[in-house]
Amino acid sequence: SYVLTQPPSVSVAPGQTARITCGGNNNGRKSVHWYQQKPGQAPVLVVYDDSDRPSGIPERFSGSKSGNTATLTITRVEAGDEADYYCQVWDSTSVVFGGGTKLTVL
């Protein structure tokens, strides 16, 4: 089965830039979606199709991909961005989530 690999944790100071990666052996041929989940809440879609942003998501959130590694970038990080972030792809008829990355704002 397809595996998405994310770092367990990323830490960043307020106002700095956070980058969360998502690796998969064929991500270059797949569209990657990203979700933010705060404690006790449902996930929220923040980036879809590698780099598109749903309406209502701040421009500080952006996505990119290089080879088989997708990256979620959050600029000018705020305390409210502290959350778990998950990448997701489709592998044929199955949905695959990465293990999640806990973003800590120092």
Given the rule CB under 8 A, which residues bind another protein?
1, 30-31, 33, 35, 37, 42-45, 48-49, 52, 54, 84, 86, 88-90, 93-100
Of 14 and 49, which CB lies nearer to another protein in the complex structure?
49
Of 14 and 29, which CB lies nearer to another protein in the complex structure?
29
| 60 residue type, one letter | R
The residues, ordered by sequence, that sit 6+ positions from 44 with a Cβ below 8 Å of its Cβ are 35, 36, 37
User: Cβ 93 to another protein, closest distance in Å?
Assistant: 4
**Virtual CA dihedral for 104, 81, 40, 50, nearest 10 degrees?**
-100
